[in-house]
């Protein structure tokens, strides 16, 4: 086992820069694990990085492999007595582009970034969890402190992060209002949204007010969603802006409007992922996988995500479990 199939790119650009190649299997060092990847999540940050934005400035050599989250099987543990042994099913999130990504048959990942895969999930389902769920947890639980009596507006509720954000906020007792299209209204209510605003027919600022927290998963890249959100917050309310580069002036704009704002950047914490796993195993949180592509179809997976109309997650099937 010296080489593996991977999706690589030799430069940034459109989806066509992604191509299949045989590359060296990465070498595990220090506290890293070597994991056979069965499935890999596809996320907006992958698309941004591929196009020359996102984390592309940190790419130190070419070709590079994208893919932040994965589900797979331990091949080598970091040391002999570690609780996670070769053969164990794990999932997690790696630090692309500092390390090679999950669009490959194998990857190395620090032990702190993985957790046991929930038994109730297939590898394809599990690969759709780590980055999106950890992002949603960080924004909703760690920053917004979701609790009973809190009114929370979540934009793009049907997306990968959004559908987890609704479930976490609802679980901790927040009154959740989500924006989404009419085709997703029933599903968003099933996830826990008490109200759904169809952004194609209504301006959310005409429908809601006195909001405690806005989870902004759009920013100002579409119809000034971020700026418009400031007007629905109560004085001193909080806006959490998640997408990288989506609203550079968020702090200044929020201060001028008399509200608070915070960005959020996800951390690949396996300990938090283990907590999320318990919510998945208990049935309190579910992952929805919209589309599955074979590894060789990574470019098509990126194009699907770029439409902006996927529900839940897009996943690559990398190998057999």
Same domain, 247 and 199: yes
CA 25, 31, 36, 39 torsion: positive or negative? negative
Same domain, 95 and 41: yes
Last residue of a domain, one of 230, 248, 263: 263
Instruction: Name residue, tokens 């940190």.
Output: 58
What pLDDT is attached to residue 155? Answer: 98
Same domain, 256 and 175: yes
Report whether 140 contacts 264 (CB < 8 A). Answer: no
Q: Is residue 184 in a domain?
A: yes
d(CA 267, CA 134): 7
Q: Is residue 107 in a domain?
A: yes
- Region of 50 (left: φ > 0; alpha: ψ -120 to 50; beta: rest) is alpha
Q: Is residue 244 in a domain?
A: yes
What pLDDT is attached to residue 1? Answer: 77
Report whether 15 contacts 299 (CB < 8 A). Answer: yes
User: What are the Cα distances from residue 177, in Å, to 153, 189, 229, 237?
Assistant: 5, 9, 13, 15
Same domain, 63 and 117: yes
d(CA 50, CA 64): 10
Same domain, 139 and 259: yes
Report whether 173 contacts 150 (CB < 8 A). Answer: yes
* Run of H or E residues at 253: helix 250-256
What pLDDT is attached to residue 315? Answer: 98
Q: Is residue 65 in a domain?
A: yes
Same domain, 182 and 249: yes
CB environment 157-169: b (16+ within 10 A), e (fewer)? bbbbbbbbbbbbb
Q: Is residue 270 in a domain?
A: no
CATH code for position 141:
3.40.50.720
Q: Is residue 269 in a domain?
A: no
Same domain, 28 and 140: no
Same domain, 124 and 142: no
Neighbours of 40 (CB within 10 A): 34
pTM over 0.85: yes
Same domain, 141 and 246: yes
User: Could you read off the pLDDT tens digit of each residue along the chain, which spans 321 residues?
Assistant: 799 999 999 999 999 999 999 999 999 999 999 999 999 999 999 999 999 999 999 999 999 999 999 999 999 999 999 999 999 999 999 999 999 999 999 999 999 999 999 999 999 999 999 999 999 999 999 999 999 999 999 999 999 999 999 999 999 999 999 999 999 999 999 999 999 999 999 999 999 999 999 999 999 998 999 999 999 999 999 999 999 889 999 999 999 999 999 999 999 999 999 999 999 999 999 999 999 999 999 999 999 999 988 999 999 999 997
CATH code for position 293:
3.90.180.10
- Tally the domains of the chain: 2
User: What are the Cα distances from residue 278, in Å, to 115, 118, 310?
Assistant: 11, 8, 26
What pLDDT is attached to residue 226? Answer: 96
Same domain, 310 and 189: no
Report whether 129 contacts 287 (CB < 8 A). Answer: yes
Question: What is the domain extent for residue 75?
Answer: 3-129+287-317
Minimal CA–CA distance to 94: which of 137, 127, 48, 51?
127
Last residue of a domain, one of 263, 279, 303: 263
Helix, strand or coil, per DSSP, at residue 183: helix
Q: Is residue 150 in a domain?
A: yes
What pLDDT is attached to residue 167? Answer: 98
Residues 6+ apart with CB under 8 A from 141: 168, 172
Same domain, 84 and 158: no
What pLDDT is attached to residue 211? Answer: 98
Same domain, 161 and 95: no
Residues 6+ apart with CB under 8 A from 319: 36, 37, 38, 105, 295
What pLDDT is attached to residue 309? Answer: 86
What pLDDT is attached to residue 46? Answer: 97
CA 228, 287, 307, 20 torsion: positive or negative? positive
Report whether 190 contacts 163 (CB < 8 A). Answer: no
């Amino acid at each position: 086992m010296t080489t593996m199939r991977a999706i690589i790119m030799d430069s940034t650009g459109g989806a066509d820069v992604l191509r299949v190649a045989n590359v060296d299997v990465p070498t595990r060092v220090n506290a890293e694990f070597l994991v056979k990847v069965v499935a890999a999540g596809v996320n907006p940050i992958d698309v941004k990085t591929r196009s020359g934005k996102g984390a592309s400035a940190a790419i130190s050599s070419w070709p590079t492999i994208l893919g932040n989250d994965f589900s797979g099987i331990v091949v080598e543990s970091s040391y002999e007595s570690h609780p996670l042994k070769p053969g164990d099913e794990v999932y997690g999130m790696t630090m692309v582009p500092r390390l090679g990504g999950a669009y490959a048959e194998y990857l190395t990942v620090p032990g702190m970034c993985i957790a046991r895969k929930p038994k109730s999930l297939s590898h394809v389902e599990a690969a759709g969890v780590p980055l999106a769920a950890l992002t949603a947890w960080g924004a909703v639980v760690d920053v917004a402190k979701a609790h009973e009596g809190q009114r929370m507006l979540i934009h793009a509720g049907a997306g990968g992060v959004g559908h987890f954000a609704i479930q976490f906020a609802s679980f901790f007792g927040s009154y959740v209002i989500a924006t989404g299209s009419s085709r997703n209204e029933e599903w968003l209510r099933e996830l826990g949204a008490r109200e759904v605003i169809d952004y194609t027919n209504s301006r959310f600022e005409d429908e809601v007010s006195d909001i405690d927290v806005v989870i902004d998963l759009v920013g100002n890249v579409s119809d000034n969603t971020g700026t418009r959100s400031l007007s629905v917050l109560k004085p001193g309310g909080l806006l959490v802006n998640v997408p990288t580069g989506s609203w550079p002036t968020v702090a200044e704009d929020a201060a001028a409007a008399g509200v608070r704002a915070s960005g959020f950047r996800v951390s690949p914490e396996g300990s938090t992922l283990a907590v999320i796993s318990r919510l998945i195993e208990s049935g309190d949180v579910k992952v929805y996988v919209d589309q599955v592509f074979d590894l060789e179809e990574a470019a098509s997976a990126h194009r699907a995500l770029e439409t902006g109309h996927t529900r839940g997650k897009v996943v690559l099937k990398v190998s057999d479990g």
